[in-house]
Structure 1
Amino acid sequence: MTAITVNLNPIIQLSDNQFYQLCRENPEVKFERNAKGEILIMSPTGGETGKRNVEIAADFVFWNRQTKLGVCFDSSTCFKFPNGANRSPDVAWIKKDRWDTLTSEEQEKFSPIAPDF
């Protein structure tokens, strides 16, 4: 997957809320943000990658339904990592007790938590 990096830092440093709003105002674009605050514009995946990703996600969902140990997320979910980056992994899983410590607002927006997987 190819990403285009845009460095707006010399002009403006987006707050978490501003970055969230940018993503909401442009739903057709998949944005991420690295630890340096640079905006990454992600390209869509190809067919083979998409096929593999959905299989991996399905395996996680089926396993999690059986174990009830956590919460699964798809590739559209953006997380705020401790290093300041906002990333959307292909699939993510967070232990239930860690997820439950977040407020409903934190769960609704780009959750400030790094996935366990």
Structure 2
Amino acid sequence: MDEVIELHYDRLRLNDDEFYEFCQQNDNLRFEREPNGTILIISNTGGESGVRNAEIMFQLMSWNKQAKQGRIFDSSTAFRLPSTAVRSADAAFVTTTRWQALTDEQRKKFPPLCPDFIVELRSSTDSIPSLQRKIQNNWLAAGCRLVWLIDAEAETVYVYRADGSVQILRSFDELLTGEDVLPGLSFVLSDLRLS
């Protein structure tokens, strides 16, 4: 997640299809939507966040090429949550069964589901409390089973689980596992170091 600017429209309330079209017509910008209809403009990341996000995607894609458990999504994918919020994460995973249950139309637009797993990578403009609120109020509230909040500068990872537990890893010398959500995944945190 990056710096966010809010747009408030007192007279404009976009339904799901209208919001999707709005995003397509402004595809040079990134948007999210609050349940109350407030549209958020999300800033692009800097180079260091981009390198780290590419590494996250690489490791997740490599695991899924072997495991064939579902679909991996990048940071430009937005999901329509049950609250009507539209959110994106730096990386997301949806099981094959849940993905195949969607119609072709639902897959083409903002998939109307909450991913099983997401990664939020803290960029220099993010605050940990704002990302934690996003995780609690959006991803976990909508049924996400496993969330990693990665603060690469502090080499700290917050692991959120659906049962409400939170584990904090304070070293990139440790391995993260996908637990029962991404079985067999061993994520090498030290690969997120830039030096």
CA–CA separation in structure 1 for the residues paired with 2:15 and 2:51: 35
Larger helix percent? 1
Q: Partner of 2:4 in structure 1?
A: 3
Gaps of 5+ in 2: 118-195
- Summarize the alignment of residues 1-117 of structure 1 with structure 2, pairs less than 5 Å apart: 1-8=2-9, 10-117=10-117
CA–CA separation in structure 2 for the residues paired with 1:37 and 1:57: 30
| Percent identity (aligned) | 45
Greater RCO, CA 8 A, separation 6+: 1
Which of the pair has more CA radius of gyration? 2
Q: Secondary structure at the match of 2:31?
A: strand
CA drift of 1:101 comes to: 0.2
CA–CA separation in structure 1 for the residues paired with 2:31 and 2:58: 24
What TM-score comes out, normalization by structure 1 length?
A: 0.95
Gaps of 5+ in 1: none
Q: Secondary structure at the match of 1:76?
A: coil
Q: Partner of 2:183 in structure 1?
A: none
Q: How big is the alpha-carbon RMSD for the aligned residues of Structure 1 and Structure 2?
A: 0.8
CA drift of 1:100 comes to: 0.4
CA drift of 1:51 comes to: 1.1
Larger strand percent? 2
- Counterpart of 2:56 in structure 1: which amino acid? I
CA drift of 1:77 comes to: 0.7
Q: How many residues align?
A: 116
CA–CA separation in structure 2 for the residues paired with 1:83 and 1:57: 27
- Counterpart of 1:91 in structure 2: which amino acid? A
